[in-house]
Amino acid sequence: MRIALPSFLIALGQRLSRRGEKGPAKEKPAKPERVGPLPVRDHVTIDTRPVHMPAFDQALVAVVLALVAFGLVMVFSASVALPDSPKFAKYAHTYFLGRHAMSIAIGAVVALAVVQVPMSFWEKHAPLVFLVAIVLLVVVLLPFVGKVVNYSRRWIPLGFMNFQPSEFAKLAIAMYAASYMVRKMEVKENFIRAVWPMALATAFVGVLLLRQPDMGAFIVIATIAMGILFLGGVNGRMFLLIATVLVAVFCVIIAFDDLRRERIFAYLDPWNPKYAQGKAYQLTHSLIAFGRGELFGQGLGSSVEKLHYLPEAHTDFLLAVIGEELGFVGVASVIVLFFWLTRRIFVIGRQAVALDRVFAGLMTQGIGIWMGAQAFINMGVNLGVLPTKGLTLPLMSYGGSAILMNLVALALVVRVDLESRVLMRGGGA
């Protein structure tokens, strides 16, 4: 029996059979919507210039060069009249200028070499550097080695210059104290284990320095050691105890030393006729020089006090000549430059500590204490704020080993900054 199907069902079956032969129908991709131009803000500009990070702290180097150059000019001005004195009659008028320039050149060459050495080398050999400093402090006391100048045995003659071991000891104590705090970091709350060994090392150096004698260098070295212990995290009560002991030691030294006791009395009353022509002679003429300088000074080269009135005008009392010739403006400029330099060194040290480079950071801050404390003491002595000490003005005063070690220490600061910059850019120190 045949069943008749409706015509529309027959047509549907034929269409499905034809689609099965051709395969499944492909869907046409949707056409993308047309997007109009993006809005542009005319006031927004993009700087496509590459960002350059300087390879070293250019401002720090510039300030150091400015202080060194300024010191060279003032050393010549302060020493140009010295050959007129019988004591220096055999010297040319440019003798001290030439010697100082040679010391700067030697210091620059050594500093360029030191800045190439990674800080890991100094961290590893910091105890050895400190040991070398102690050996040199012992050697300088030997009668056939050490050179005596003004009743003090502080220099080792090297032919081309006289080397002063106490200047090297300042850098050595900064390295050793930083290394010591890194090694003793876990016991810094225990006084005996954390502080006592460092106190003994500093005391031993102090005994050798007082044998020269060089009280000023001992004060600076003790300040560096105490500062690094404090910055390294030593308990505040321990720090106060150390400070009390040091003050007591200095008081005992002054009490049993007639020379230093007379200096204290002269400092307290410099215009007393008893001291004005004796222990206060340098101080009174230094104050006269500052008084003559007034605001803008007498003019470069016009100092009267340097004409055999003010002793050691080109070394310990260079700031007094600056005050007389360039006035308050010149002295204020020197103070501002040293303040900026010390602050910048501390910033570099703090940055290194933040990058977990504790030895480099503490050593750098120790160098900052050295520069700042010695500059402060020298300025205080010149201005009559502190008793007379045989300390030069860093980077400026005449002195071969002093300028050499100052430049070497600052080269280490530049190296610490270089390595910190490399780390911050994702490299390795």
Q: pLDDT tens for residues 136-151?
A: 999 999 988 888 887 7
Whether the predicted pLDDT of 106 surpasses 70: yes
Average pLDDT over residues 329-351: 96
Q: Which of 355, 367, 376, 369 is nearest to 428 (CA)?
A: 355
**Would you state the pLDDT for residue 86?**
81
For residue 234, count other CB atoms closer than 10 A to its CB.
Answer: 21
Whether the predicted pLDDT of 39 surpasses 70: no
Average pLDDT over residues 184-203: 72
**Would you state the pLDDT for residue 45?**
43
Q: Which amino acid type is present at position 258?
A: D
**Would you state the pLDDT for residue 389?**
80
Higher-scoring residue by pLDDT: 2, 380: 380
Q: Which amino acid type is present at position 317?
A: F
**Would you state the pLDDT for residue 161?**
84
Average pLDDT over residues 198-213: 87
**Would you state the pLDDT for residue 292?**
93
Whether the predicted pLDDT of 8 surpasses 80: no
Whether the predicted pLDDT of 187 surpasses 60: no
For residue 260, count other CB atoms closer than 10 A to its CB.
Answer: 18
Predicted confidence band at 46 (pLDDT cuts at 50, 70, 90)?
very low
Predicted confidence band at 108 (pLDDT cuts at 50, 70, 90)?
very high
Whether the predicted pLDDT of 131 surpasses 60: yes
What would the two tokens of residue 427 be? 């490299």
Average pLDDT over residues 12-20: 54
**Would you state the pLDDT for residue 10?**
53
**Would you state the pLDDT for residue 6?**
52
State the residue for tokens 């106060």: 240
Whether the predicted pLDDT of 384 surpasses 50: yes
Q: Which of 87, 374, 362 is nearest to 214 (CA)?
A: 374
Among positive and negative, which fits the CA dihedral 35, 36, 41, 42? positive
Whether the predicted pLDDT of 44 surpasses 50: no
Higher-scoring residue by pLDDT: 263, 104: 104
Whether the predicted pLDDT of 42 surpasses 50: no
**Would you state the pLDDT for residue 189?**
59
Whether the predicted pLDDT of 312 surpasses 90: no
Whether the predicted pLDDT of 55 surpasses 90: no
Q: Which amino acid type is present at position 220?
A: V
**Would you state the pLDDT for residue 64?**
97
Reported pTM = 0.83
**Would you state the pLDDT for residue 428?**
57
Lowest mean pLDDT among 64-78, 277-291, 329-343: 277-291
* Spatial distance between the Cα atoms of 165 and 151, rounded to a whole number of angstroms: 17
What would the two tokens of residue 241 be? 């105890």
* Spatial distance between the Cα atoms of 344 and 264, rounded to a whole number of angstroms: 34
Work out the mean pLDDT of the chain and round it to a whole number: 83
**Would you state the pLDDT for residue 25?**
47
SS3 letters across the chain: CCCCCCHHHHHHHHHHHHHHHHCCCCCCCCCCCCCCCCCCCCCCCCCCCCCCCCCCCHHHHHHHHHHHHHHHHHHHHHHCCHHHCHHHCCCCCCHHHHHHHHHHHHHHHHHHHHCCCCHHHHHHHHHHHHHHHHHHHHHCCCCCCCEEECCEEEEEECCCCEECHHHHHHHHHHHHHHHHHHHCHHHCCCHHHHCHHHHHHHHHHHHHHHCCCCHHHHHHHHHHHHHHHHHCCCCHHHHHHHHHHHHHHHHHHHHCCHHHHHHHHHHHCCCCHHHHCCCCHHHHHHHHHHHHHCCCCCCCCCCCCCCCCCCCCCCCCHHHHHHHHHHHHHHHHHHHHHHHHHHHHHHHHHHHHHCCCHHHHHHHHHHHHHHHHHHHHHHHHHCCCCCCCCCCCCCCCCCHHHHHHHHHHHHHHHHHHHHHHHHHCCCCC
**Would you state the pLDDT for residue 192?**
66
Predicted confidence band at 19 (pLDDT cuts at 50, 70, 90)?
low
% of the chain beyond a pLDDT of 90:
49
**Would you state the pLDDT for residue 240?**
78
Higher-scoring residue by pLDDT: 266, 51: 266
